[in-house]
A and B are shown apart, each in its own frame.
Chain A
Amino acid sequence: MIENIKEIKKDELLAEVKKFADAKARFVTAVCNDLGDKLEVTYFFNMSPGMEMHGLRMTVGKDEEVPSTTGIFLTTVLIENEMKEMFGLKVKDIAIDFGGHMLLAQDSPVTPMLKTGAAGGKGGE
């Protein structure tokens, strides 16, 4: 169980993130999960000063477009690019768009973090 997570709809995302920005919260990170036919994205914020954490969670279809939060928190640039290349989450208008090759090279597998992603064997054996 994670405390303080609020379920939101995709359209509310920017407004909700804006509230955190106005409250002078610090963006921690986002986590994307593959739920089979949908993707679940959770944004985590730290209420500065202090160590209290809040989350925003939304569930989107795999081919739905999601607005970018880089207009509010520039620092989300890395994580949005990462979710885009690892999970194929369709994020619109990222401030610096690496075009799906921030971490992955030209000949790497595409969207490797999806459960169906052909990702080689299991490392570490």
Chain B
Amino acid sequence: MGIINTSRIKSPWIMHFDNSSCNGCDIEVLACLTPLYDVERFGIVNMGNPKHADVLVVTGPVNRRTARVLKNLYAQIPDPKMVIAVGTCACSGGVFHNCYNILGGVDKVIPVDVYVPGCAAKPEAIIDGVVLALQKLSKALGVAK
């Protein structure tokens, strides 16, 4: 197991899912992957398939229709997994928290490990969030980082 756990922490694969966000945080997540911030230099790769992912990055508040999709994706990610809620509205619902079609933050539906506030969350903050998630993960696995 040693090598798998080490590579999990050294090169986490993330998957991004957009609930019903305003796009602001989505494009900031994408911006993290592009040359100025370039998270790929830390071994972080963006994946389209939940079965390959270690970290689920969720943006936007959960609405009544995406709740099912989100639960489904969460169930498809193999253990151990981490969930990062990016943006104020993924943390708590933000500006939309009382709208009729919104259930609230991501933690209403699936367990969240790291919260990254900000509307929109800055790419630096998102990278910090991923680093924090990896520290949590390495603690849980008992691997020194």
A touches B (Cβ under 8 A):
yes
B98 touches A108 (CB 8 A): no
* Residues of chain A within 8 A of B51, CB atoms compared: none
User: Does A99 interact with chain B (Cβ within 8 Å)?
Assistant: no
Q: In whole angstroms, what is the CA distance A5 to B97 when docked?
A: 37
A105 touches B98 (CB 8 A): no
User: Does A125 interact with chain B (Cβ within 8 Å)?
Assistant: yes
What secondary structure prevails in chain B residues at the interface with A? Answer: loop
Q: In whole angstroms, what is the CA distance A119 to B98 when docked?
A: 9
User: Does A104 interact with chain B (Cβ within 8 Å)?
Assistant: yes
Q: In whole angstroms, what is the CA distance A78 to B43 when docked?
A: 43
**CB-defined interface of A50-91 with B at 8 Å, one 1/0 digit per residue?**
000000000000000000000000000000000000000000
* Residues of chain A within 8 A of B64, CB atoms compared: 104-108
Output the nearest chain B residue to A113 by Cβ-Cβ distance. B100
**CB-defined interface of A97-110 with B at 8 Å, one 1/0 digit per residue?**
00000011111110
Output the nearest chain A residue to B98 by Cβ-Cβ distance. A121
Within 8 A of A (CB), among B4-35: none
Q: In whole angstroms, what is the CA distance A105 to B66 when docked?
A: 9
A120 touches B96 (CB 8 A): no
User: Does A49 interact with chain B (Cβ within 8 Å)?
Assistant: no
A123 touches B95 (CB 8 A): yes
B98 touches A104 (CB 8 A): no
Q: Give the size range of B's interface with the partner.
A: 10 to 19
Interface size on A, residues (CB 8 A): 16
For the complex formed, measure the closest distance between the CB of A19 and the CB atoms of chain B, giving whole angstroms. Answer: 37
Residues of B within 8 A of A (CB): 63-65, 95-102
For the complex formed, measure the closest distance between the CB of A9 and the CB atoms of chain B, giving whole angstroms. Answer: 33
* Residues of chain B within 8 A of A103, CB atoms compared: 101
Interface pairs A-B: 3 shortest CB-CB: A105-B64, A121-B98, A123-B99
Q: In whole angstroms, what is the CA distance A28 to B46 when docked?
A: 39
* Residues of chain A within 8 A of B97, CB atoms compared: 123-124
Q: List 24 A-B contacts (CB under 8 A).
A: A103-B101, A104-B64, A104-B101, A105-B64, A105-B65, A105-B101, A108-B64, A108-B101, A109-B100, A112-B100, A117-B100, A120-B99, A120-B100, A122-B98, A123-B96, A123-B97, A123-B98, A123-B99, A123-B102, A124-B95, A124-B96, A124-B97, A124-B98, A125-B98
Output the nearest chain A residue to B68 by Cβ-Cβ distance. A105
Q: In whole angstroms, what is the CA distance A121 to B96 when docked?
A: 10
Sample of 17 further A-B pairs with CB below 8 A, known A103-B101, A125-B98: A105-B65, A106-B64, A108-B100, A108-B101, A112-B100, A112-B101, A119-B100, A120-B98, A120-B99, A120-B100, A123-B95, A123-B97, A123-B98, A123-B102, A124-B96, A124-B97, A124-B98
